[in-house]
Amino acid sequence: MRPAYPSNDPMFFPIEWAQDGSVAPGASEEINSGLGAVVVRKFSGVANEDVIIPFELPVSWGRIGKLQYSVCGWITEAVLPAAGETVRFTLQGTGIDVNGSLNVAFNAGAGYVQASQSPDMNGYAQYDRFQTAISDYMLVDTPGAGFKIFFNLIRTATDAGDTYAQDVGVDGLMVYPVRT
């Protein structure tokens, strides 16, 4: 089931834009099941893995103070989810202005990190698409047009909310900005 969108236009960030994080998932790979192919990165079901997605904030977005997100992906493994099994991700971000340094850390303060979890995936089959619930609002360091934003997307496989112990293929991140 597709979640209801917040009021601002969402933007999809394909996984191909992602760079390796501190514990990276597998390299990009194409999965194909007859109709067509998609590119995914398989995130582990037993260890936390992450990617960093850089993004230049477009002028049309103006300033954003917070955002929401969801993760889009595919069941890639033959071992299917059982009743009650879910996957869970967290996202945090930081913005760098002109003349800013790459030597910054992601803000881990209250409101700067949000989780997004899938619905019960019972009944999903291999190559079925999933989308996590839209997260609560997440703060961003009030970037405006021209800022470079870096998102850190983590599958939190060791979190009690992530109960599907198989890899999942993530094909992208859907971001819903709140303009200020």
In angstroms, what CA-CA distances link 17 with 37, 76, 125, 144, 158? 17, 20, 27, 21, 25
Q: Give the Å distances, CA to CA, from 166 to 21, 67, 74, 77, 155.
A: 20, 29, 12, 7, 12
Q: Is residue 36 part of a domain?
A: yes
- 108 falls within a domain: yes
Supply the pLDDT for residue 111: 73
What range defines the domain where residue 117 resides? 11-179
- Cα distance between the two ends of the chain: 30
Distance CA 173, CA 180 (A): 22
Q: Kindly give the confidence (pLDDT) of every residue in the chain, 180 residues in length, as a single tens digit, with 9 standing for 90 and above.
A: 344 444 467 889 999 999 999 999 999 999 987 778 999 999 999 999 999 999 887 777 667 778 889 999 999 999 999 999 999 999 988 878 777 778 877 777 777 788 899 988 999 999 999 999 999 988 776 556 677 888 999 999 999 999 999 999 999 999 988 776
In this structure, is residue 50 part of a structural domain? yes
6 occurs within a structural domain: no
Q: pTM of the prediction?
A: 0.89
Domain count for the chain, please give it.
1
pLDDT at residue 73 in the model:
96
Instruction: Let me know if residue 33 belongs to a domain.
Output: yes
pLDDT for res 33: 76
Confidence (pLDDT) at 6:
44
The answer to whether residue 129 is domain-embedded is yes
Note whether residue 2 is domain-resident.
no
Interacting residues of 83 by C-beta distance below 8 A, sequence separation 6+: 120, 122
Q: What's residue 180's pLDDT?
A: 66
Question: What whole-number distance in Å separates Cα of residue 154 and Cα of residue 20?
Answer: 11
CATH number of the domain to which 30 belongs: 2.60.120.260
